[in-house]
């Protein structure tokens, strides 16, 4: 496992991390024993970055991480959480000093720590990025010792570019994969200049880029890949990266011949992300140890050739871009 500098924090983190949404909620039934085993397996492979949120299972994901950390020695991983989606309705006013402090206190309790490594605003309204007072409130939480660093999780490139104008923003979490290429242009360039860490979420396009799904694949009622296909519950970009399911399946079949026979499409898709040096860490989810070990193994794959990268870009241009590029 290789490490990359996490922005200006002075920390290094593994380039493959662990996304803990799936062990909290919205990905079908969660088995806690398997979830804890997956976390242990990821950490055993050298993963040093865990990403969670206070709303994943109403804090369940955070508490699972706390349980796993109790029984482990050695260097503690960098644990990132998020705040803001507990609001019944997303408004700028909801990100008050009182709410931010209360959400932070709740995550401190769930994770059983004295200070949170990283708190990310959890896909707040676009207008929030035009309210400096919200970021000043986060600065106060740093001064109080409740959080070490803060960042943002965004839906849109526009939001990412605006967020990094604030000097305290250490990281931006954004959807980035072979089906969501827009961040790689202007935003990546600006983030590198400002030494802002980039966390690539939804790296497998909700599993589409694993190559395991078919037209008749069934998803559980509690899985967002069924209930949020048209954005019924939250931003549709979080589900299959906003790509219509059948369109994504067809594009996957064009990518499949590019995958070497000695690896999996999921590992290949993660290695593709690591080809971008602006990316600090990719955070695939895992609900069992086998998935966690497989994800970590992507870091050991050789670099992809320029020809392969060009072919994937061409597939995006012809098949995917019309559906997603201008939306986020």
Catalytic residue of the set 56, 129, 150, 316: 56
Q: Which two tokens stand for residue 29?
A: 């039934």
H or E stretch including 78?
strand 78-83
Residue 15 DSSP one-character state: S
Of 215, 211, 233, residue with least CA distance to 224: 233
DSSP symbol at 264? -
Q: Who contacts 28 (Cβ-Cβ below 8 Å, separation ≥6)?
A: 219, 220, 222, 223
323: annotated active-site residue: no
Bridge partners, 174 (sequence order): 200
Query: Count of CB atoms within 10 A of residue 305's CB?
Result: 10
User: How far from chain centre, in Å, is Cα 112?
Assistant: 22
For residues 285 and 52, give the distance between their C-alpha atoms in angstroms, rounded to a whole number. Answer: 10
What is the DSSP pairing of strand 78-83 with strand 49-51? parallel
d(CA 175, CA 194): 20
Q: Radius of gyration of the chain from Cα atoms?
A: 18
Give the residue numbers marked as catalytic.
56
């Amino acid at each position: 496992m290789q490490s990359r500098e996490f922005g200006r924090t002075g920390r290094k983190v593994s380039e493959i991390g662990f996304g803990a949404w799936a062990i909290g909620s919205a990905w079908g039934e969660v088995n806690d024993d398997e979830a804890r085993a997956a976390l242990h397996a990821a950490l055993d492979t050298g993963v040093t970055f865990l990403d969670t949120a206070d709303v994943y299972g109403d804090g369940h994901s955070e508490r699972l991480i706390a349980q796993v950390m109790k029984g482990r020695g050695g260097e503690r991983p960098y644990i990132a959480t998020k705040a803001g989606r507990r609001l019944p309705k997303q408004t700028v006013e909801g990100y008050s000093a009182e709410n931010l402090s209360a959400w932070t206190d709740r995550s401190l309790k769930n994770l059983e720590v004295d200070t949170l490594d990283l708190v990310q605003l959890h896909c707040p309204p676009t207008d929030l990025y035009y309210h400096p007072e919200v970021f000043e409130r986060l600065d106060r939480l740093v001064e109080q010792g409740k959080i070490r660093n803060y960042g943002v999780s965004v839906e849109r490139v526009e939001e990412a570019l605006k967020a990094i104008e604030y000097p305290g923003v250490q990281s931006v979490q954004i959807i980035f994969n072979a089906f969501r290429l827009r961040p790689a242009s202007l935003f990546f360039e600006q983030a590198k200049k400002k030494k802002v860490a980039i966390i690539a979420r939804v790296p497998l396009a909700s599993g589409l880029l694993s190559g395991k799904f078919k037209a008749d694949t069934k998803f559980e009622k509690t899985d967002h890949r069924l209930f949020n296909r048209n954005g019924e519950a939250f931003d549709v970009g979080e589900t299959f990266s906003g790509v219509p399911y059948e369109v994504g399946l067809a594009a996957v079949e064009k990518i499949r011949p590019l995958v070497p026979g000695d690896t999996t499409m999921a590992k290949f898709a993660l290695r593709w992300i690591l080809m971008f040096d602006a990316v600090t860490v990719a955070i695939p989810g895992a609900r069992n140890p086998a998935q966690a070990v497989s994800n970590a193994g992507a870091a050991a794959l050789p670099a992809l050739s320029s020809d392969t990268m060009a072919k994937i870009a061409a597939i995006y241009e012809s098949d995917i871009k019309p559906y997603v590029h201008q939306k986020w």
